[in-house]
């Protein structure tokens, strides 16, 4: 697992010495010609805002269900989403492959190849949703809930929620596909607007379906799923009409057949599957880490501190870093497509500098005001405050490493090297931190600080390996094409 080499199935010729001339067209050429910091920020900030608003929607869902259904409803949503997100992360990996192709072709000004790629990604998303997720998800949901040991009362609430999410996932997949395509082509504002509209619509529909309104009965926990799939479906239908009629920076191709192009679809999976495996591995690693936290003498206090400090407050850093990761992928991919590898290289360094600045600012509050931050979430018990303060101060440093790691991950993925981030993540986020916890547990007494330190070491290792891999420059010669 330590041999982090270029993907074996990608031809790596010598880097081109002559950049192609800029090609006029529908794409924003400032990404490949203008100031880099502006180009990175133009893609990053709408994604950051969309992530924050999407996170708030999840909080609102839990508040509504908690008040109207009870804690079993909250537990049901938590358990069902944990299952659903593992599946959706893997399936969405094809959109990473699509983003690699779209960014490269947009940078080269090859509009037809961009449109063909987007259409084939759309067909793939619809096919997977209707032919795989819907039937398999419906029948497998009870088994999946048994695998996570859902209590009978929780399972009763979670089963209809999970089945609805699986059966009517087409709109969600189309939204995620389109958002990735638009951002990779240089338009990050349109997916932000669509995401905000979908979130507002989702909240309104959830209020209606969870609690009932007029002739519409109260569906409880299932109502949260109904609101989500209807909101996603409406946005998906609107997106389909825009892609068909044109008007966005990406659209369906003209003058070509409407059937599947297996050459393009294979390329989607070729570049995307490593990202899907990476996402599943990270989720599995998180489950094992929670098991170590649950084994502590003060497990309840540690779990509460971890849930608030890592899962909620640390998101202030990861939300922005994920936005910068996407920006680094887009700007690096487009510039490589435009025959400007040096500019692609510099773009990732610029994104990392922005990420470190943001993480450092948030880290100041983590380090100097941890008690106040925990109090916002009602965390006042002495044991929880002590452990949470300890964790937040570790995360104030860890955030610097993860911000850099994610931007360089974006740089690697955007230029076509999607396998190296997989290997790096498995080593740094699973093998190393879990290995440290296991050794300490077997040779002594595992304490909360040991786990927090293991997380810090894992983030630091991911940062170092990602930077080293990117600076090797092997991505400069990765060729991407889908034929004529």
Q: Mean of the pLDDT values across residues 137-144?
A: 90
How far apart are alpha carbons 245 and 243 in whole angstroms?
6
How far apart are alpha carbons 162 and 183 in whole angstroms?
29
Q: Does the pLDDT value for residue 245 go beyond 60?
A: yes
How is the chain split into domains, by residue range?
34-260, 274-476
How far apart are alpha carbons 307 and 315 in whole angstroms?
11
From 58-67, 278-287, 320-329, 339-348, the region with the lowest mean pLDDT: 58-67
How far apart are alpha carbons 312 and 305 in whole angstroms?
10
pLDDT at position 146? 82
Q: Does the pLDDT value for residue 359 go beyond 70?
A: yes
How far apart are alpha carbons 480 and 478 in whole angstroms?
7
pLDDT at position 6? 35
Q: Mean of the pLDDT values across residues 314-339?
A: 92
Ramachandran assignment for 416, one of left (phi > 0), alpha (psi -120 to 50 degrees), beta (any other): left
Q: What element of type H or E holds 374?
A: helix 370-376
pTM of the model: 0.83
Instruction: Decide if 91 contacts 128 (C-beta within 8 A).
Output: yes
For 231, what's the count of Cα atoms within 13 Å in the CB-facing half-sphere? 24
Phi, psi torsion values for 213, nearest 5 degrees: -155, 120
Question: Exposed, middle or buried, 82 (CB in 10 Å: 0-12/13-18/19+)?
Answer: middle
3-state secondary structure of 318: helix
Structure tokens at 11: 């031809």
Q: What is the tens place of the pLDDT at every residue in 150-196?
A: 678 778 888 998 999 999 989 989 998 999 999 999 999 999 999 99
Q: What is the tens place of the pLDDT at every residue in 189-240?
A: 999 999 999 988 988 998 899 888 888 998 888 888 899 899 999 999 999 9
pLDDT at position 236? 92
For 131, what's the count of Cα atoms within 13 Å in the CB-facing half-sphere? 6
Phi, psi torsion values for 216, nearest 5 degrees: -85, 120
């Amino acid at each position: 697992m330590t041999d982090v080499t270029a993907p074996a199935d990608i031809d790596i010729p010598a880097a081109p010495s002559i950049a192609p001339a800029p090609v006029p067209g529908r794409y924003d050429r400032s990404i490949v010609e203008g100031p880099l910091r502006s180009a990175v920020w133009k893609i990053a900030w709408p994604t950051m805002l969309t992530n924050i608003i999407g996170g708030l929607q999840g909080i609102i869902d839990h508040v509504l269900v908690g008040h109207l259904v009870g804690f079993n409803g909250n537990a049901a949503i938590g358990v069902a989403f944990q299952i659903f997100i593992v599946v959706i992360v893997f399936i969405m990996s094809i959109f990473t492959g699509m983003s690699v192709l779209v960014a490269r072709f947009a940078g080269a000004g090859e509009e037809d190849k961009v449109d063909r790629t987007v259409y084939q990604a759309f067909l793939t998303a619809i096919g997977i949703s209707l032919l795989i997720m819907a039937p398999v998800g419906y029948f497998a949901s009870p088994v999946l809930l048994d695998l996570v040991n859902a209590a009978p009362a929780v399972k009763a609430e979670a089963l209809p929620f999970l089945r609805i999410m699986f059966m009517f996932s087409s709109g969600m997949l189309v939204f995620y596909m389109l958002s990735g395509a638009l951002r990779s082509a240089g338009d990050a504002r349109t997916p932000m607007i669509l995401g905000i509209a979908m979130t507002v619509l989702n909240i309104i529909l959830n209020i209606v379906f969870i609690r009932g309104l007029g002739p519409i009965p109260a569906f409880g926990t299932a109502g949260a799923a109904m609101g989500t799939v209807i909101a996603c479906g409406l946005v998906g239908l609107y997106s389909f009409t825009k892609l068909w009629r044109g008007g966005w920076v990406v659209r369906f191709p003209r003058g070509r057949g409407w059937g599947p192009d297996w050459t393009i679809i294979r390329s989607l999976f070729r570049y995307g599957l490593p990202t899907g495996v990476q996402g599943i591995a990270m989720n599995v690693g998180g489950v094992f880490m929670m098991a170590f936290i649950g084994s502590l003498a003060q497990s309840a206090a540690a779990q509460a501190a971890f849930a608030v400090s890592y899962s909620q407050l640390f998101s202030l850093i990861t939300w922005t870093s994920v936005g910068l990761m996407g920006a680094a992928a887009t700007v690096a991919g487009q510039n490589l497509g435009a025959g400007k590898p040096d500019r692609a290289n510099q773009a990732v360094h610029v994104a990392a500098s922005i990420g470190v600045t943001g993480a450092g600012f948030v880290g100041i509050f983590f380090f100097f005001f941890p008690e106040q931050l925990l109090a916002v979430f009602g965390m006042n018990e002495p044991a929880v405050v002590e452990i949470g303060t300890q964790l937040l101060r570790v995360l104030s440093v860890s955030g610097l490493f993860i911000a850099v790691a994610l931007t360089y991950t974006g740089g690697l993925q955007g230029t076509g090297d999607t396998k190296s981030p997989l290997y790096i993540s498995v080593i740094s986020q699973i093998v190393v931190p879990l290995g440290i916890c296991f050794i300490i547990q077997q040779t002594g007494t595992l304490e909360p600080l040991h786990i927090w330190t293991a997380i810090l070491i894992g983030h630091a290792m991911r940062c170092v390996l990602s930077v080293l891999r990117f600076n090797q420059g092997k991505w400069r010669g990765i060729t991407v094409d889908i034929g004529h």
